[in-house]
Amino acid sequence: EPEVTQTPSHQVTQMGQEVILRCVPISNHLYFYWYRQILGQKVEFLVSFYNNEISEKSEIFDDQFSVERPDGSNFTLKIRSTKLEDSAMYFCASSDGTGPPDTQYFGPGTRLTVL
């Protein structure tokens, strides 16, 4: 069964450093998403991406965040200058958009630890 993959599984960084989280969505999917989950809290929507542009973003997704689909398979989330409060699990998801409804499939996540 096709699945979303994410690398790395765990990233440790110093405050102020840039990090890039990588995702490989399911191959025939057209819509891509990033969510995050701070330890013990809810899963929060960050951004959706379609046709090489952002469809929607949340208040969390400020100027420090950016997304990119650099080639036909990868989807990345960049945090330019990490803060302590960016420590969380980051989940990538994808969907094929052939709904309704639209079913999103999530990756295993990247645990980001900012020191």
Partner 1 sequence: LAKTTQPISMDSYEGQEVNITCSHNNIATNDYITWYQQFPSQGPRFIIQGYKTKVTNEVASLFIPADRKSSTLSLPRVSLSDTAVYYCLVALYSGGYNKLIFGAGTRLAVHP
What length does the chain have?
Answer: 115
Using the minimum distance from each CB to partner 1, give the nearer residue, 18 or 56.
56
CA 110 → CA 60, 65, 88, 90, distances in Å?
17, 16, 8, 5
Closer to partner 1 by Cβ: residue 48 or 87: 48
CA-based nearest residue to 62, from 94, 28, 39, 85? 85
| Binding site residues, partner 1, CB under 8 A | 4, 30-31, 33, 35, 42-45, 48, 50, 55-56, 89, 91, 93, 95, 97, 99-109, 111
Q: Which is nearer to partner 1, 81 or 98 (CB)?
A: 98
